[in-house]
Amino acid sequence: MKNFPKLLIVLLAVTALASCADKKPATLAEAFKGKFTIGATLNKGVYSGTDTAAANLVIRQFSSITAENCMKQENIQPEKGKFYWDEAEAFVSFGEKYDKEIIGHNLVWHSQMARWFAFEDGAKFEFIPGQRPVFPPYCSKEEFLERMHDHITTLVSHFKGRVDVWEVCNEILEDDGTFRKSPYYNILGEEFVYLAFQWAHEADPDARLYLNDYNMHIPAKVDTYVRLVKELQSRGLRVDAVGMQEHLDINNPTVEEFETSLNKIAATGVKVYITEWDMSALPNPYLMSAEITNRFEYTPETDPYKEGLSAEQSKLWNNRVQSFVECYLKHADVIDRWTQWGTTDATSWKNGFPIHGRTDYPLLFDRACQPKPVVNWIIANAQKF
Ligand code: 9MR
């Protein structure tokens, strides 16, 4: 009898543990536990607290967050030597408060580059509507190296120990696998890649580092990334992963094309991050890409689901997403993170790209922050893989 309370405690503890083990996942974050992190990309409304519905969705459903715009160079260092930290600070604090993996996007990107960054001090820009822009001369190589070192070092050091993962180079290749002729490449050649990784690592040795691009299903493109990873490795530089953006549409690419590229990356020994996932439900006027200079004219035929997605298209979309997710789960040993580009359909960039003003349905949560059918399927099934 003396032992009764002890026995009771043990019994209660065992029952509690058993019911914990039985507990079915209720959210995406729980569904992917032990497999990979599941991320959302945050705009200002989410981390500043004005969009409370989206913020609550992220807090509950996701385990990782990426900065959609606030860390891009034109926003964070719009003038030489002047860093504007407030927004990025709000983003990182949000992640810390809710214990999310925090992704910095990005250190090197030709687009949304600060206007002063590659050109002679005080350079004048003239943009005449309808004419090709004529750019002023680049600054000297020495000056560019100093600016690049300063930008990367200042940004990464500022968030040392707080940002878990930095996207070091974004969209540095053309689809044919050659280097994009950006100011980085034009001034430094391929060396800019190795310098960027070196300086990012020096500024925060614990941060994970990766290369990132769209259209990674194109063999020539992924092959060059494989070469770059090997080159980084042979120089002893830290590289943790290759990011496959995965801006998909309703037809392209195939799961098999994705898988072939994933296997090529995995063979180098680094991880794969799915970094900017979305799947447009709309007709696509060109073969899918995230090349943001591509724009097409709006006509009503290009925007068929203004009043809501048809049942047929919704089924197609959900089934296609499911087949990708099955593939991601199959490769959970290689995939470390799956991030969707945005939080809900309401604020996705796809409503404005590649045609402005359409109503698209590319993300896992709808305009009312409700899960699409495939989300419920994931929550019920992911742990079975
Ligand atoms: O989603 C971003 C959008 O709000 C910006 O206006 C746009 C400007 O370039 O960038 C979008 O994000 C891009 C990301 O940073 C890099 N890959 C392509 C994404 C979609 O354009």
Q: Report the nearest atom of ligand 1 relative to the CA of 41.
A: 1
- Strands 101-109 and 64-67 turn out to be parallel
- 72 Cα: distance to centroid of ligand 1 (angstroms): 10
The residue whose C-alpha atom lies closest to atom 16 belonging to ligand 1 is 170
AA identity, residue 368: A
Q: Residue 86 Cα, ligand 1 centroid: separation in angstroms? A: 20
* Cβ atoms of residues 265 and 222 within 8 Å: yes
Atom 1 (ligand 1): residue with closest C-alpha? 349
Atom of ligand 1 nearest to the CA of 170: 16
Residues that are catalytic: 171, 276
Give the residue among 172, 327, 332, 212 at the shortest CA–CA distance from 260: 327
* Per-residue pLDDT at 284: 81
- Residue carrying structure tokens 């925007």: 303
Residue 164: per-residue pLDDT? 99
Residue 109: the pLDDT is 98
Quote the pLDDT of residue 372: 98
Which of 70, 107, 166, 292 to mutate to test ligand 1, by most ligand atoms within 8 A of the CB atom?
A: 292
Please identify which residue in the block is written with the tokens 């950006």: 182
Cα of 13 to ligand 1 centre, how many Å?
50
Which residues, including other chains, have CB under 8 Å from residue 146's CB and lie 6 or more apart? none
Nearest Cα residue to atom 20 of ligand 1: 290
Q: Which atom of ligand 1 is nearest to 112's Cα? A: 9
Residue 254, helix vs strand vs coil: coil
Intervals of the chain under pLDDT 50: 1
Nearest-CA neighbor of 152 among 134, 174, 167, 138? 167
User: What's the CA-to-centroid distance between 68 and ligand 1, angstroms?
Assistant: 7
Pocket of ligand 1 (CB under 6 A): 68-69, 111-112, 170, 245, 276, 290, 292, 349
Q: Identify the residue whose C-alpha is closest to ligand 1 atom 3.
A: 349
Q: Which residue has the tokens 């035929």?
A: 301
Q: What are the angstrom distances between the C-alpha of 294 and each of 16, 289, 352, 353?
A: 56, 9, 12, 8
CA 153 to chain centre: 21
The minimum-distance atom of ligand 1 relative to the CA of 292 is 21
pLDDT of 295 reads 75
- Which residue, by CA, sits nearest to atom 6 of ligand 1? 349
Look at residue 5 in the predicted model and tell me its pLDDT: 60
Nearest CA among 178, 187, 197 for reference residue 235 = 197
pLDDT score, position 364: 98
**Which atom, in ligand 1's list, is nearest to the CA of 342?**
1
Q: Give me the half-sphere count of Cα atoms (radius 13 Å) on the Cβ side of residue 36.
A: 21
Return the pLDDT at 285: 73
